[in-house]
Amino acid sequence: MTSPFADQKMITLTNLQKTFPSRGAGAPVTALADIDLTIERGEIFGVIGRSGAGKSTLLRTINLLESPSSGSVRVDDVEMTALSPKELREARHSIGMIFQHFNLLSSRTVFDNVALPLELAGVAKPVIRQTVEPLLDLVGLTDKRDRYPSELSGGQKQRVGIARALASKPKVLLSDEATSALDPETTTQILHLLADINRRLGLTIVLITHEIGVIKEICHKVAVMEAGRVIEQGPVFDIFAHPTHPTTRSFVDPVINRGIPDGLRARLSPTPQPGANPVLRITFTGEKATSPVISAISRQLNLDLNIWHGQIDEIQGAPFGTLVVEALGDDTAVEAAISLLNVNHLGVEVLGYALPANH
């Protein structure tokens, strides 16, 4: 998905390294290694990884809460690593941040929490009011303005966090596992709010998560991290449709159900067997997801295709289908079918060979 400002870079991380000195005798711990990422203006960029993968450190290098050991961090054409402490504080005013545990001040009301970044910047009281009130409206908390965080639900707290992050009119919003402490329904609401803000304000959002559902729901691009490295990155649709790294597959498989039912899986042999038919997984992307290619193959090649499993998903508004079929025909017909699918730019892979069902 292309943003209206696709040619403009908002965040560029170049050859980023971060090592933490070891506690005691061991070797230093590498948190980030050879990170190169470009995040475009107006984009929702997701970083996914398991805990300890380095995604939190990566996010914190963008506003230099974590200073990289080496490498370059450019945000809106400003080299963050070269700033003086004062300049850095100034630059942080244009980078909002939200957190897994909200990090709201318990001693301040909803209004005063949202006003905090403005107070810190020395904004005059009437201007603060003019800024905060529309934000409370945006996140739907106008009626809670004089409540304290302990009187709010998790979702409401995160809405306060979002309003607070937006108060200084940032160009970038960093989201640190912002929905990980919320229930699924609230997660969806918060994600929709973020997507809405992204569209309405053209705000660039960088979010980290360990939940692939979050990526699928709102991200335009995704980077997958493991052991401090980005192992795969690209448009969300492409990564979901063609995950190459095993870790990426393990994230993607559960949500788009590329797998096949266990009962059928038990009949699969990885190598050709006498009397066993090849089982193919065909993936359809974009407009091809709706074209009648299967029946065409069946007709042209006189090949029976026994459908095992099929599914059509939608990722970022584009249809994405998978079909698992057992090909009942001779080897040459199967070969021909595979090449025909390839010619049509459909993804095809041989999952294995189906042994006859037990009777």
Partner 1 sequence: MLSPQIIDLLIKALIDTLHMVAVSGAIGTLIGLPIGVALAVTGRGELLQNLVFNRIVGAVVNMTRSTPFIILVVAIIPFTRLIAGTSIGTSAAIVPLTVAAAPFIARIVENAIREVDRGLIEAAQAMGATPFQIVTKVLLPEAMPAIAMGLTLSAVSLIGYSAMVGAVGGGGLGDLGIRYGYQRFLPEVMLAVVVVLIVLVQIVQSTGDWIARRVNKRHLKV
Enumerate binding residues for partner 1 (CB under 8 A): 63, 65, 88-93, 95-97, 99, 101, 103, 105-108, 116-117, 119-121, 148-151, 168, 174
Least separation in angstroms between CB 33 and partner 1: 24
Closest to partner 1 by CB, 182 vs 289, is: 182
User: 69 or 103: whose CB is closer to partner 1?
Assistant: 103
What the block records as the tokens of 160 is 């306060």
Tokens standing for residue 161:
């966090």
In the complex, least distance from residue 103 CB atom to partner 1, rounded to whole angstroms: 4
Amino acid making up residue 278: P
Question: Which CB atom, from 94 or from 186, has the smaller least distance to partner 1?
Answer: 94
Q: How far is the CB of 127 from partner 1 (least distance, A)?
A: 16
* Shortest distance, position 85 Cβ to partner 1, whole Å: 9
Q: What are phi and psi of 96, to 5 degrees?
A: -80, 160
Shorter beta-carbon distance to partner 1: residue 5 or 99? 99
The DSSP bridge partners found for residue 281 are: 324, 349
Residue 122 vs 270, nearer CB to partner 1: 122
Cα–Cα distance for residue pair 72/86, rounded to 1 Å:
19
Between CA 55 and CA 176 the distance in angstroms is 9
Separation of alpha carbons 156 and 133, rounded Å: 16
- Side by side, the strands of the sheet bearing 304-315 are 268-269, 347-354, 277-285, 318-328, 304-315
Q: Which is nearer to partner 1, 164 or 281 (CB)?
A: 164
Which of 170, 107, 110, 196 lies closest to 145 in space, CA to CA? Answer: 110
| Shortest reach from residue 151's CB to partner 1, in Å | 5
Smallest gap from Cβ 146 to partner 1, in A, equals 11
Dihedrals phi, psi of 240, to nearest 5 degrees: -70, -40
In angstroms, the Cα distances linking 113 to 82, 105, 171 are 30, 6, 20
